Structure 1
Amino acid sequence: MHHHQQSHRTIDIDTRLVRIGAVLTAAGAVLASAGMAIGVMAVFTAGRRMIRDMDVPPTQQAAAKWQQAKEASRAGLQAWQSASDAQNGPLAR
């Protein structure tokens, strides 16, 4: 009977380098987060400035477009009903 002995190899890791790598990674993450925050702040500020400088605020523009859409829908329905009445006669309803 043969007994196989497995040699237990250990990995020799330089923990000093691992710590340095972790510190550099954390510092990079902090710098990246700061860069993203500055970029977001710049875009947000520009957006607010653009909205402030508009002649008509976006909420008023949206309300006007909604009113136009309702009126166009109503006009389309009336035109469709008029065309249907003209084609089928007034008693077709």
Structure 2
Amino acid sequence: MNQHHQQSHRTIEIDTRLVRIGAVLTAAGAVVTWTGMAIGAFAVFTAGRRMIRDMDVPPAQQAAAKWQQAKEASRAGVRAWQSASDARNGSLAH
């Protein structure tokens, strides 16, 4: 029974040098990954700025024009609906 008791108390021996090397390589990989992501994001951001700068009409001006068109279309729709409603009500009164 003593022999069995001694076997159950074995400890795991870990090579701490390998653990440290693994941690350093993981950290180095994370640095390389973040550097790559930053360079990629910078490239996309720069391309977007260049594209906006080269546009004939700036995005803010395009948005304002589209908003104005939407308001005018909405007003025209309301007028058409009111005209149809007035015509229907007028035809029922006669």
TM-score, normalization by structure 1 = 0.89
Structure 1 position 8, deviation (Å): 1.5
* Separation in structure 1 between the aligned mates of residue 26 and residue 18 of structure 2, nearest angstrom: 12
* Equivalence for 1:38: 39
* Separation in structure 1 between the aligned mates of residue 89 and residue 67 of structure 2, nearest angstrom: 33
1:1-93 to 2 correspondence within 5 Å?
A: 5=5, 7-89=8-90
SS in 2 for 1:24: helix
SS in 1 for 2:27: helix
Q: Percent identity?
A: 84
Structure 1 position 87, deviation (Å): 1.0
Structure 1 position 9, deviation (Å): 1.7
Q: String of CA shifts for 1:61-81, please: whole Å, max 9, x gaps.
A: 000000000000000000000
Give, as a single letter, the amino acid of the residue that structure 1 aligns with 2:16: T
Aligned residues between the structures: 91
Structure 1 position 5, deviation (Å): 4.0
Structure richer in helix, relative to its length: 2
TM-score, normalization by structure 2 = 0.88
**Greater shift in the superposed pair: 47-56 or 2-11:** 2-11
Q: String of CA shifts for 1:42-74, please: whole Å, max 9, x gaps.
A: 000000000000000000000000000000000
